[in-house]
């Protein structure tokens, strides 16, 4: 950083010496060149400098120099090896020799740079600069410094006379300029295209500013892009020069203040110095002025600021004006005085063009506007145009076919569903499963206790035991009667015994029936599946139930699934008509089986509420035979749709779905306004 500061101080001192040398106009050019080179050859940054010329005998001879004693011997001899003057001859020939190592007569290693010097009037001159190797490590900085020295030397020894009537520094805003400025302003306002306005600003602006190049950068979001560059019909954004210019313009747009580079980067912040250095390495410009372009403010806001005696607010930065000079680091008087005038005009024109191009579907609205503008003042044409447009619209609505789809809502459910009911009156005393639990076929789910059933079973068992005891007593009495030869008594006892046996058999049958009923109080799963009832324990435990009450639902989620759709009844006509048209048979009556043949299974598009971005398809397989009431849709008919279970996100039982059943093609007008037509037919015209 300290070395960079020393380098910047040396360039600043070189510019001061150049101004002083140019002020000594009474001295000959070569003497002024000698003063300049002696002043800048300080021995630290620049070791020495030589200025070569061509004599009348076409011999290359030194004209002046600075610090020559540092690179020569005590007797003034230089180390002019056979190749030393080859680089000088190449510079006289218009070439640009590269940097090269060189060793002085005293054995000092230096880096030599050779450049031609263009002066007025034309004199063949070449300057040779010698830098220490540690200074020349930064090649880009040395190249920029060399160009700066050559430009200062050219201005110091030039004696170009001022033409009669030519504007001076204080006379750049003359009448000729204002005429061209008026034409420039008109040219900016002739288009509302950013590309056209930027091209005019770049090309005509360069002529007005009398500089080497003018470019326009436009800010798009967080980045800036070069929109136009003087002398170029198209911009290649990937070119190194344009890319570095875009980065530099973006830095100025973020800063929001004008920035002018005059040959040194001293004083610039690090965030700006880095893109500036890379751009200078590509462009070789000696002066770069970057001026932000701002958006137009509404008139009412400007008037309010003036009424409140406040400073007028600055609009948002929308771009950047870039002015460059390639020969001098000091801005020309025309640039200094005319840039502020150009900025306002260019900013206003680009802001208007930017607002215009921000309109959505601008070419379409422009075409519509031109078409409508043609009808102004032509009443007959307007009438005919409206009638033609209406006729065209009606024709399109009546003839263009479009897919008609019946929309319905419903839920996704497994096909295999089982509802388990209470087999007897009782109280649920044990719940063994929870919602969502997987169960096996025959697994016990809950237990019901029935006191009435227990009482009846006990009564039946007592009756059986009583009959058994009576039979035993009758057998004993019958044996006694037989021993006593009491035939009539024996026959009576035998008859009573048969009656008791029949009564006992009836009691045993009752006991068996009651035991089966009691076993049924242990509710078991009829299939392998999942418990679909919610909060089973909270809803059933210790709750009295009556015979036929639904207790629990079990569904097979690993089997096939279907959509259970509630189709509004007033749309069933479209659905049944489509089924009849694809099967070639009359529409099924409500009393026929609900299963549809394969040819009559309509395509259904559906989306789940939990995955609305994914659309899936199924097949309509069943149509309900009766209507049901729905709080949301009114009267509905249940329809079933076969689907692929893998399409359901998570296979959640009862997941809400929205479906559209394809019912063939109808006219576009009926698809769009069929509900209105049907409403009028149902409510008004029937």
Q: Which residue has the higher pLDDT, 606 or 270?
A: 606
pLDDT for 32: 87
Evaluate if residue 376 carries a pLDDT over 80: no
Q: Are residues 546 and 565 in the same domain?
A: no
pLDDT for 299: 61
Portion of the chain with pLDDT greater than 90, in percent: 16
Q: What are the DSSP E strand ranges found in 569-610?
A: 603-608
Give the tokens for residue 147. Answer: 């160009």
pLDDT digits (tens, 9 = 90+) for 575-613: 888 888 887 766 555 555 467 777 678 899 999 887 878
Q: How many residues does the chain have?
A: 686
Q: Are residues 214 and 325 in the same domain?
A: yes
Model confidence band, residue 215 (pLDDT cutoffs 50, 70, 90): very high
Q: Are residues 563 and 516 in the same domain?
A: no
Residue 571 inside a domain? The answer is yes
Give the tokens for residue 674. Answer: 């069929």
Q: Are residues 648 and 541 in the same domain?
A: no
Of 4-8, 418-422, 441-445, 557-561, the poorest mean pLDDT is in 4-8
pLDDT digits (tens, 9 = 90+) for 460-519: 888 888 888 888 888 888 888 888 888 888 888 888 888 888 888 888 898 888 888 888
Question: Per the structure, how many domains does the chain have?
Answer: 4
Task: Give the range of the structural domain holding residue 23, as residue numbers without chain letter.
Answer: 2-157
CA distances to 404, 585, 601 from 576, rounded to whole Å, are 13, 11, 11
pLDDT for 652: 84
309-316 mean pLDDT: 63
Give the tokens for residue 337. Answer: 């005085």
DSSP3 helix / strand / coil % (the chain, rounded to 5) = 45, 25, 30
pLDDT digits (tens, 9 = 90+) for 114-163: 888 877 777 889 999 999 888 888 777 787 778 888 888 888 887 654 44
348-353 mean pLDDT: 92
- Domain CATH for 595: 2.40.30.170
Q: Are residues 87 and 107 in the same domain?
A: yes
Give the tokens for residue 60. Answer: 């290359």
Of 31-45, 170-184, 457-471, the poorest mean pLDDT is in 170-184
Measure the CA–CA gap between 258 and 253, rounded to whole angstroms.
9
Portion of the chain with pLDDT greater than 70, in percent: 92
pLDDT for 161: 45
Q: Are residues 105 and 66 in the same domain?
A: yes
Contact call for residues 329 and 262 (beta carbons, < 8 A):
yes
pLDDT for 167: 44
Q: Are residues 87 and 146 in the same domain?
A: yes
Q: Are residues 287 and 430 in the same domain?
A: no
Question: Model pTM greater than 0.75?
Answer: no
Evaluate if residue 169 carries a pLDDT over 50: no
Evaluate if residue 300 carries a pLDDT over 70: no
Q: Are residues 180 and 129 in the same domain?
A: no
pLDDT for 228: 94
31-56 mean pLDDT: 88
Q: Are residues 15 and 74 in the same domain?
A: yes
Q: Are residues 522 and 564 in the same domain?
A: no
Contact call for residues 206 and 184 (beta carbons, < 8 A):
no
Measure the CA–CA gap between 254 and 242, rounded to whole angstroms.
18
Evaluate if residue 305 carries a pLDDT over 80: no
Give me the DSSP letters along 302-348: HHHHHHTT-PPPPPPEEEEEEEEESS-SSPPHHHHHHHHHHHHHHHH
Measure the CA–CA gap between 49 and 52, rounded to whole angstroms.
10
Residues 6+ away with beta carbon under 8 Å from 392 = none
Contact call for residues 181 and 296 (beta carbons, < 8 A):
no
Choose one of 124, 157, 190: the last residue of a domain: 157
Residue 405 inside a domain? The answer is no
Radius of gyration of the chain (CA): 52
Residue 91 inside a domain? The answer is yes
Residue 194 inside a domain? The answer is yes
pLDDT for 311: 52
Residue 351 inside a domain? The answer is yes
- Domain CATH for 329: 3.30.450.40
Model confidence band, residue 660 (pLDDT cutoffs 50, 70, 90): very high
Q: Are residues 509 and 606 in the same domain?
A: no
187-216 mean pLDDT: 92
Measure the CA–CA gap between 572 and 578, rounded to whole angstroms.
10
Choose one of 526, 552, 578: the last residue of a domain: 552
Give the tokens for residue 110. Answer: 């230096």
CA distances to 157, 164, 671 from 418, rounded to whole Å, are 108, 111, 40
Averaged confidence pLDDT in the chain: 84
Choose one of 157, 187, 219: the last residue of a domain: 157
Contact call for residues 458 and 483 (beta carbons, < 8 A):
no
């Amino acid at each position: 950083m300290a070395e960079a500061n020393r380098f910047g101080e040396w360039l600043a001192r070189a510019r001061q010496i150049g101004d002083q040398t140019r002020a000594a106009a009474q001295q000959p050019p070569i003497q002024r060149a000698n003063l300049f080179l002696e002043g800048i050859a300080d021995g630290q940054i620049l070791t020495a400098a030589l200025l070569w010329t061509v004599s009348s005998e076409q011999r290359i001879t030194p004209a002046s120099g600075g610090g020559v004693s540092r690179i020569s011997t005590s007797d003034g001899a230089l180390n002019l090896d056979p190749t030393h003057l080859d680089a000088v001859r190449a510079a006289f020939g218009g070439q640009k020799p590269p940097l090269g190592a060189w060793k002085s007569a005293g054995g000092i290693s230096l880096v030599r740079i050779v450049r031609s010097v263009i002066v007025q009037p034309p004199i063949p001159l070449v300057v040779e600069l010698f830098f220490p190797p540690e200074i020349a490590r930064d090649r880009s900085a040395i190249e920029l410094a060399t160009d700066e020295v050559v430009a200062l030397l050219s201005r110091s020894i030039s004696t170009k006379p001022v033409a009669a009537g030519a504007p001076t520094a204080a006379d750049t805003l003359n009448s000729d300029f204002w005429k061209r400025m008026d034409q420039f302003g008109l040219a900016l306002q002739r288009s509302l295209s950013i590309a056209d306005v930027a091209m005019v600003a770049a090309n005509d602006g360069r002529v007005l500013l009398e500089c080497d190049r003018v470019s326009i950068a436009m800010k798009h979001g967080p980045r800036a892009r070069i929109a136009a560059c003087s002398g170029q019909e198209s911009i290649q954004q990937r070119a190194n020069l344009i890319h570095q210019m875009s980065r530099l313009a973006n830095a100025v747009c973020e800063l929001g203040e004008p920035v002018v580079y005059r040959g040194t980067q001293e004083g610039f912040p690090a965030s700006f110095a880095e893109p500036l250095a890379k751009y200078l390495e590509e462009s070789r410009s000696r002066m770069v002025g970057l001026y932000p372009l701002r958006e137009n403010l509404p008139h009412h806001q400007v008037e309010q600021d003036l009424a409140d005696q406040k400073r007028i607010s600055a609009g948002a930065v929308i771009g950047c004006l870039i002015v460059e000079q390639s020969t001098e680091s000091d801005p020309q008087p025309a640039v200094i005085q005319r840039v502020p005038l150009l900025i306002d005009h260019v900013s206003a024109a680009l802001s208007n063009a930017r607002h215009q191009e921000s309109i959505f579907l601008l070419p379409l609205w422009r075409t519509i506007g031109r078409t409508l503008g043609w009808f102004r003042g032509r009443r007959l044409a307007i009438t005919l145009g409206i009638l033609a447009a209406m006729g065209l619209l009606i024709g399109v609505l009546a003839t263009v076919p479009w897919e008609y789809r019946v929309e319905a809502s419903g839920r996704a459910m497994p096909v295999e569903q089982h509802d388990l009911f209470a087999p007897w009156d009782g109280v649920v005393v044990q719940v063994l499963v929870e919602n969502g639990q997987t169960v096996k076929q025959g697994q016990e789910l809950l237990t019901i206790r029935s006191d009435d059933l227990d009482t009846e079973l006990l009564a039946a068992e007592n009756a059986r035991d009583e009959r058994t005891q009576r039979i035993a007593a009758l057998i004993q009495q019958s044996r006694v009667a037989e021993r006593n030869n009491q035939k009539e008594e024996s026959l009576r006892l035998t008859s009573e015994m048969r009656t008791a046996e029949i009564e006992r058999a009836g009691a045993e049958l009752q006991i068996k029936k009651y035991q089966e009923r009691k076993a049924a109080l242990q509710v078991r799963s009829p299939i392998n599946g999942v418990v679909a009832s919610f909060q089973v324990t909270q809803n059933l435990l210790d709750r009295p139930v009556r015979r036929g009450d639904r207790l629990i639902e079990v569904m097979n989620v690993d089997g096939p699934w279907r959509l259970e759709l509630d189709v509004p009844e007033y749309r069933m006509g479209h659905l049944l008509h489509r089924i009849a048209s694809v099967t070639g048979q009359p529409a099924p009556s409500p009393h026929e089986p609900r299963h549809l043949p394969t040819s009559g299974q309509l395509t259904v598009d559906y989306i789940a509420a939990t995955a609305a971005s994914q659309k899936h398809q199924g097949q309509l397989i069943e149509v309900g035979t009766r209507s049901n009431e729905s709080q949301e849709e009114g009267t509905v008919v249940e329809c079933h749709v076969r689907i692929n279970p893998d399409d359901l996100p998570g296979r959640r039982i009862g997941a809400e779905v929205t479906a559209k059943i394809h019912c063939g093609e109808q006219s576009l007008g009926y698809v769009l306004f069929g509900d209105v037509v049907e409403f009028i037919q149902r409510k008004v015209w029937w």
